Amino acid sequence: MSLLSVEDLVVRHGLLQAVRGVSFSVERGETLALVGANGAGKTTLLRAIAGAHQAASGRVLFNGADLSGVPSHSRVRNGIALVPEGRKLFVQMTVEENLLLGKTAGRPGEWSVEKVLDAFPNLKPRRHAKAGHLSGGEQQATAIGRALMSNPDLLLLDEVSLGLSPLVVDRVYASLQGLISSGTTIILVEQDLNRALSVSNKVICMLEGRVALAGDSRSMSREEVTKAYFGLHRKSATGVPA
């Protein structure tokens, strides 16, 4: 049984169908990278898995249980944690307080404030600083740490490198590599294709709300993904090769 199975999922934003019948599965210990142009539906898909955006139809099965209709806070208790785009920290609270909020899900496990600070050493001297006073990289580390504090079976990461300098992104990814090596199951939305391919073992390229390409990251060429990314891998809407 797969850890996560997404079956024919449809998600709308008002008149717009952002996710159009997407199906895929993730096994325990895998890292899946979701790539695609802006508006392809990656963030909406991630939010629908987390329960932050209600799906119009289709199913999300987690550990075999159908989560359709289950609210996001209950999904955290089921073991799904989302690190949202833009981090969404409580800026008036300290790093430690933000991290402890992740603990309120009440899931048993190994993650503690100390362990998060070990995984993200740049947070150690900032433990009692307000989140609003942190740098972008420190905020991102806090957001990931907060999600880890719920001891998730599945970690959903949305654009963790957005707005960070290349050096800071390197640091965040070095920490992520540690999580991946320890067997954490991750779905990662990432704009930088090389980074996405380098840390993942599976990749899905989305285009206009659908899966345009899916496969093994290590056997997928940058050129192959690029064609899928721009929709140049298929017949065009008018039947003429684009």
Contact footprint for another protein (CB under 8 A): 15-17, 35, 37-39, 166, 169, 191-195, 197-198, 208, 222, 225-226, 229-232, 234, 236-238, 240, 242
Cβ closest to another protein, residue 39 vs residue 58: 39
Of the two residues 215 and 231, which places its CB atom closer to another protein in the complex? 231
CB 17 within 8 A of CB 209: yes
Closest separation between CB of residue 116 and another protein, Å? 24
DSSP annotation of 241: B
Compute the least distance from the CB of residue 167 to another protein, in Å.
12
CB of 126 to another protein, least distance (A): 25
Indicate the length of the chain as a whole number.
Answer: 242
Q: Which of 126, 105, 124 is nearest to 116 (CA)?
A: 124
**Nearest 5 degrees, angle CA 144-CA 76-CA 72?**
105
CB of 221 to another protein, least distance (A): 11
CA dihedral 14, 16, 18, 20 (to 10 degrees): 110
| Pair 82, 88: CB distance under 8 Å | no
Reference 119, options 180, 163, 207, 67; nearest CA is 180
If the CB atoms of residues 17 and 72 are measured against another protein, the closer one turns out to be 17
Tokens representing 67 are 């989560």
Min dist. Cβ of residue 150 to another protein (A): 28
Helix or strand run (H / E) with residue 168? helix 166-181
The whole-angstrom separation of Cα 117 and Cα 123 is: 6
Residue 77 or residue 234: which is nearer to another protein going by CB? 234
Give the nearest distance from C-beta 202 to another protein in angstroms. Answer: 16
Give the DSSP letter string of 206-225.
EETTEEEEEEEGGG--HHHH
Kindly tell me which of 88 and 222 has the beta carbon lying closer to another protein.
Answer: 222
Between residues 131 and 180, which has the closer beta carbon with respect to another protein? 180
